[in-house]
Amino acid sequence: MALRVARGLFRLWLILSVIWVIFIVISGWDQLSEIFTAIEPPPGQGGVVLPPGLYECWATRNADNPFVIIHPGVETSADMSLTTAWRRCITYKLQIPIKALTPPLMLLALGSALIWAFRGFRSDFSVRQRLPTKIYLDNNIVSAIAKDDEPSESDALDRLLTAWRTGKVDLVTSELTLAEIKRYHDPRMRAAIERIFRFLEKVEIVRWDELVGIHSYGDARTWINTPMIQNYPEYGALLTLGLEAADAQHVYVAGKQACDTFLTCDKGILRRAAGIKGIFSSLTVQEPSQLV
């Protein structure tokens, strides 16, 4: 959220700065055009009255001119030093650029200073007092990091990755994620997502069911053995919430491996966050933007 606000303010500053510069250029066009125009007295005249600024610029090019060029309040060409004339000429020619650029630059500096100051009142990573140390990434989060296909979560994922790179959090996933990645049809996209997967720490998959027996049935010609599989209570409870099997398996592994947060963009999982909390009390289901 903070990055989106800063980006919006910067774009607003850019638009206002362009409008301001255009306004100054239009209103001061006559003076601005004189910057590139050599001002000389009319031919055949021994003297001419020039306004301040233009006089000094003329004097820098005519330091040895015998004629006396006068305007009220400024020395004549005879008693004005060349250094003084140059200084006044440059000051005159820079009036419009300075007037156009100084307010936007001062506003930018002030805004940057205020942002820097306000950042000192919040923690580096989150407003939360206690940071989750072990965050399980659902398959769609690993995919979003590679594809950047969740615009509303993009800034939060950037902040999360920054915290991970600086060692403030551990980001983990499991081989369940790789199994889902393998089902992507686009080979280039699959390779990009697998690259992100390889960077992450993997927690061991914990079985969510067990073999409790074999059901045998046969007759004189055929004998059939059917395994009897029983779900563990937590996994069964996750399925009872209405989670799909693949989602329930991810959540089950995260809960059993003592993860603090299950990060996902899956609305079906997010809607059941409270129910999941009732099954794994130490596991919080969130979107990236809710966490950071």
pLDDT value, residue 82: 54
**Cα distance between residue 69 and residue 61, in whole Å:** 13
Name the 3-class secondary structure at 285: strand
pLDDT value, residue 43: 52
Could you please report the per-residue DSSP string of 200-257? SEEPPPPPSEEEEEEEEEE-SS-EEEEEEEEE-HHHHHHHHTT--HHHHHHHHHHHHT
How confident is the chain (292 residues) per 10-residue block, as mean pLDDT? 66 88 80 55 48 56 48 47 62 77 88 78 48 84 88 88 86 91 88 89 81 70 76 91 93 92 94 94 92 82
Q: How many helices (H) and strands (E) does the chain have?
A: 14, 7
Residue in 114, 113, 100 with CA at minimum distance from that of residue 17:
100
CATH architecture of 134-291: 3-Layer(aba) Sandwich (3.40)
pLDDT value, residue 4: 60
**Cα distance between residue 256 and residue 237, in whole Å:** 14
pTM confidence score:
0.53
Q: Where are the domains of the chain?
A: 2-96, 134-291
pLDDT value, residue 35: 53
What is the CB neighbour count within 10 angstroms for residue 140? 21
pLDDT value, residue 128: 44
